[in-house]
Structure formats: structure tokens, C-alpha cells
Amino acid sequence: MATTALSRAPGSVAPALPLRRRGIAALGALVLAGAACLALGEVGGAGVLSLGTTLFAYVALAQAWNILGGFSGQMSLGVGAFVGTSAYAMALTMTRLGWSWLPGMVAGMVVAGALSALLALPLLRLKGDYFAVGTLAATLALDAWFDNWSFVNKSMGVSVPIQAVPGQTEMYVIGLVVALFAVGSAIVMRWSTFGVRLLAIREDDLAARLLGVNVSGYRLVVMVVSGMLIGLAGGVFALSLVSFVPDGMFAMSWTIEALVMVVIGGMGTVIGPIVGAVAVYYGITTELANFPTLSLFFEGGLLLVIVRFVPGGLWPFVVRSARRSLEWRGPAIRSARATPPPS
């Protein structure tokens, strides 16, 4: 079972390597990448620092969505629920209890994780489209609740104490750590027996159950991990936004951004969400900021092109193309290799 699941894993570079060693290799690469980003932050100016901070938060957000949607096959339309609760928990502990940003961020993560666990109870009974719609309903209800709840200052919103917000360099490092944490979690989930069982559940949950896998237990764990990671990203967003209102923090747009990034980069892969976050946030959102309508056209159009022609996403496509050009031995081999499905 392990080998079949692995060979189906998109973006797998060398299926011959044992599971754990590949995971360790990936973590090693992650550490190197993290060091490189740190160095980039050192040499880059304020522009790199602020761009990087937001980008890292989006990488974490996309990766968290990917862990739930890509690895476990549960499409969530409720990213805003966790971004919102985490940001609020952080702002409230900081303003009302006088906590600093670190415990505040941890509080946000814990509250977002707790919300996931709470929502998992009813939501995990729903399948496919209904799960997606359920997460959407929960988010909308939470948003409307916060809009009317005087404890959180209703629709007027709350803010993080501005003097408690770390400086730009610190924010960059915080963002980086959060992103590394999210990608690291994805790596651990991917290349472990846990991940293999998760794939089995995604592909055929009935079969996995018959083989003795605790399907709902696995799904619960994934949902909580994803919620906590979104909570961390939400903490970074809260720190950079400073003031926010329910309609912004529980917005549909968080889901949309995470989903667009993952689908464009490559759902169910570890690298894909990173590629997607860079392509969308850097390539479209910031580059086309002067042309908002055009950037919408780009985003929508790119989504359509990707799902229509490159359904696996950009990263698996790049890997496939690279491998094909490396292994090109003549027309016979090429046509034989052109057909296998990406994943």
C-alpha cells in the first residue's frame, strides 16, 4: 500500500528512496532554504523585509489549506474562520491582558486549533461538497456573530497595541519562522506513515477504513493542525494590519487567496503552495497593483487555464516537463510517457 500511494504522490523525485530518508532530506532542504531567506533579509532593504513578511504569511496560509485540502482531500471554504478567531484572540490577549506578541500569537494558534476541533465534530460527518459548504456556513455565522458581539467591540473591530508590534526585521523573521513551521509540518505529514495513510484516506476512505485506518481520527488531527497553522498565519497578518474589523478578518477573501495559490502551485504537493504563493502574491497582486481589474482578469484567467490544461498545478507540471526533457530518448519513449496521469 505504501509504495502505491507513494508512486502516486505528485512531484515525487526519486521513488526509490525510503520514506523517512526522503522526509529527512526534505527537512534538510527546508533548513537550507530558511537560512537563505534569512540571509536575503539581511542584505535586502525595507522593501524585501515587508514583501517577505506578507509572502511568508501567505505561504503558511496556503500550506495550511493544502494540508487539509490537498493531503486529506477536504476542501475548506472556511479559512477566514481561523484567521479571524486567531487574530481576535491575539489582539484581545494583548490589549486586555497586556500580553506581548509571542504569547498572544500562541494564544491565537491555540484558539484557532480549538475552534477546528470544535467544528470538526459536526463538519467531519459531512462529505465532499457538503463539508465545503459547512465550513463556509461556519465562517459566515462567526463573522455575523462578531459583528454583533459587544465583547469584541462589534463591527468597530479591535486593534493590536501599536507599540507592541515588532520592528520590520523582527516581523520578517517571525513570518519566516511561521512559514518554515507550516512547510515543515507539511513535510512531516507527507513523508511519514501518517501521510501515507492520509493519502489512502483521500483516495478511498472506505478502503482505508476496511484496512483498519482510523479515518475520523486522522481527519480530526489534520483539521486541527491546519486550523492551528492558519491561526499562526493569522497572527502575522494581525500584527501587520494592527487594526481590523470582523468583515475583514473573517472574509471570504482569505479562503480565496489560499485556494488560488494552492491550485495554481500544485495541490497535494509540498512545494506547490510555495510556488503558488509566490506566483500569486508576488507575480499578480503586487506587480499588477496599479491595474486592479487587470489583476482580477489575470487571477481568474490563470485559474481557468490551470484547472483546464494543467490540472495538477504548476509545480508538478514543471517537474514532469523537466523529467521528460531529461529522459528524452526518442519519439517512442516520449509518446509512451506522455499519457500517465499526473496524480
Q: Restricting to residues 68-97, which ones interact with other proteins according to CB under 8 A?
A: 69, 75
Measured from the CB atom, the residue of 31 and 296 that comes closer to other proteins is 296
Q: What is the DSSP letter of 269?
A: -
Name the residue type at position 272. G
- Report yes or no: 159 and 166 within 8 Å, Cβ to Cβ: no
User: Is the Cα torsion angle 130, 134, 135, 136 positive or negative in sign?
Assistant: positive
- Report yes or no: 76 and 65 within 8 Å, Cβ to Cβ: yes
- x/- string (CB under 8 A) for other proteins, residues 36-55? ---------xxx-xxx--x-
Q: How far is the CB of 277 from other proteins (least distance, A)?
A: 14
- Report yes or no: 234 and 79 within 8 Å, Cβ to Cβ: no
| CA–CA distance, 228 with 70 (Å, rounded to integer) | 17
Q: Which of 14, 326, 336, 338 is close enough to bind other proteins by CB under 8 A?
A: 338
Name the residue type at position 34. G
| CA–CA distance, 292 with 260 (Å, rounded to integer) | 17
Q: Which of 206, 289, 332, 336 is close enough to bind other proteins by CB under 8 A?
A: 289
Contact flag: residue 247 with other proteins (CB under 8 A): yes
- x/- string (CB under 8 A) for other proteins, residues 303-332? xxxxxxxxx--x--xx--x-----------
Q: How far is the CB of 60 from other proteins (least distance, A)?
A: 16
Contact flag: residue 256 with other proteins (CB under 8 A): yes
Contact flag: residue 154 with other proteins (CB under 8 A): yes
Dihedral (Cα; 107, 113, 116, 117), 10-degree rounding: -110
CA nearest 327: which of 340, 312, 310? 340
Measured from the CB atom, the residue of 26 and 245 that comes closer to other proteins is 245
Interacting residues with other proteins between 113 and 142 (CB under 8 A): 122-123, 125-126, 128-130, 132-134, 136-138, 140-141
Cite the DSSP H helix spans in the chain: 2-8, 19-43, 46-66, 79-96, 101-123, 129-148, 168-190, 193-203, 205-210, 215-241, 246-249, 252-265, 272-277, 292-309, 314-326, 331-337
Q: How far is the CB of 17 from other proteins (least distance, A)?
A: 28
Tell me the window of 13-21, 102-110, 144-152, 209-217 that interacts with other proteins (CB under 8 A). Answer: 144-152
Contact flag: residue 296 with other proteins (CB under 8 A): yes
Contact flag: residue 98 with other proteins (CB under 8 A): no
Interacting residues with other proteins between 198 and 237 (CB under 8 A): 237
Q: Where do we find the cell 500580553?
A: 99
Measured from the CB atom, the residue of 22 and 219 that comes closer to other proteins is 219
Measured from the CB atom, the residue of 172 and 218 that comes closer to other proteins is 172
Q: How far is the CB of 145 from other proteins (least distance, A)?
A: 6
Q: How far is the CB of 191 from other proteins (least distance, A)?
A: 23
User: Is the Cα torsion angle 205, 208, 209, 210 positive or negative in sign?
Assistant: positive
